Amino acid sequence: MLIQRSLLSLLTITFTCASAANEADIQDMSDPLAVYTQAGLGYTDKGLNLKLGQTYDTGNDTTMGMNIIEIKGVAGQSIGWSSRDNDDSIDSIRFRNFGVDLTNGRGAQIDVSWDFDSNQGSASYSLIQALPQMGRFNFYPLAGVGLAAGEELPGTTGGNPDADQVRDRYNLHGTFYVAGMYSKMQITDNVWLNYNPMYLGTISGSSTFKDTGFEGDSSVLAHEFAASYQLTPQANIRYFANWTQNTDFNDGDHRIEFNYQL
């Protein structure tokens, strides 16, 4: 379901944990809390992904902010390698507003996504906290809440009282939570690995959403793995894999992504 994909797609973005240095300085692109102006291009099993991020002045010397927009699944039928049904139209769009407090290593994110194939979307707010580095490892716990909305969910008809207000139009399905962690293992100065588990579950809403909102269930454990190589201080190339407790690794989403710090 879109909620799981869109929230997980939250793990695919490269935020650099900015220090109190000037924004014009090149940031560490391996840090999951980084803030920098960027452009990205991803080649995925479902087509091309396009990404553009722009920093902005928060009005506070101890905070930094960034807006990011992503367009996903362009020309999936023509150039995607997935055996699943794809078309050449855009699959989804995503907007994020991200901020980080330089004094305590805490980040906050508003994440809004819409899937054009299923006409389903979500909006969420999450907090991320950087923990002290432990050798080669960094950990960033995350917790957030969100809203799910879209066309009537399958199964809400047939006498369900939820159906009267949602049939043939968009509706608010309900609320959900996400709890998890970003993790990074630094292999060399230019190579690092990420593993980002996330647990998502419904809180309230229609009976259909509460029972089946995440891959036909009320909750799901989602996984993301990434292997990254820093080509230059301003450019990296990354491989991502996303799967869940219900989806095997081979059947999950895979992509190769190039990111450039502007």
Kindly tell me if the per-residue pLDDT of 5 is higher than 70: no
Mean pLDDT of 205-225: 95
Q: String of b and e for 64-86 (b: at least 16 CB within 10 Å)?
A: bbbebebebbbebeeebeeeeeb
Query: How far is it, in rounded angstroms, from Cα 21 to Cα 8?
Result: 30
Residues 121, 109 contacting (CB under 8 angstroms): no
pLDDT confidence of residue 7:
46
The model's pTM is 0.82
CA distances from 88 to 2, 35, 48, 75, 258 (A): 19, 32, 10, 4, 21
Between 71 and 85, where is the model more confident?
71
Domains, the chain, in order of start with CATH, read: 2-261 (2.40.160.40)
Count helices and strands in the chain by DSSP H and E runs? 4, 13
At 169 the pLDDT is 73
For residue 22, the Cα-to-chain-centroid distance in whole angstroms is 27
For 140-156, the pLDDT digits (tens) are: 999 999 999 998 887 65
* pLDDT tens for each residue of 169-202: 788 999 999 999 999 999 999 999 999 999 999 9
Tokens of 178: 């996400």
Residue recorded with tokens 């992904």: 49
pLDDT at residue 163 greater than cutoff 90: no
60-64, 110-114, 150-154: least confidently modelled range: 150-154
Judge whether residue 168 has pLDDT over 60.
no
- The dihedral region occupied by 194, where left means phi > 0, alpha psi between -120 and 50, and beta the remainder, is beta
The DSSP-derived string for 72-114 is EEETHHHH---SS---SS--EEEEEEEEEETTTTEEEEEEEEE
Average pLDDT over residues 149-165: 62
Average pLDDT, the chain: 86
Dist. CA 37–CA 252, nearest whole Å: 29
> Amino acid identity of 123?
A
DSSP H helical ranges for the chain: 2-12, 76-79, 163-166, 207-212
Average pLDDT over residues 222-232: 97
Nearest Cα residue to 46 out of 253, 258, 189: 253
What the block records as the tokens of 14 is: 């490269």
pLDDT at 109 over 60: yes
pLDDT band at 6; cut points 50, 70, 90: very low
243: its two tokens: 């799967």
Tell me the residue ranges of DSSP E strands in 102-218.
106-115, 120-129, 137-151, 170-186, 191-195, 198-205
Per-residue pLDDT tens digits for 230-247 = 999 999 999 999 999 999
3-class SS of residue 156: coil
Residue 30 has pLDDT above 90, yes or no: yes
Q: Check residue 46 and give its pLDDT.
A: 82
* Alpha-carbon distance values, 246 to 207, 215, 252, 254 (Å): 21, 8, 10, 16
Strand, helix or coil for residue 157: coil
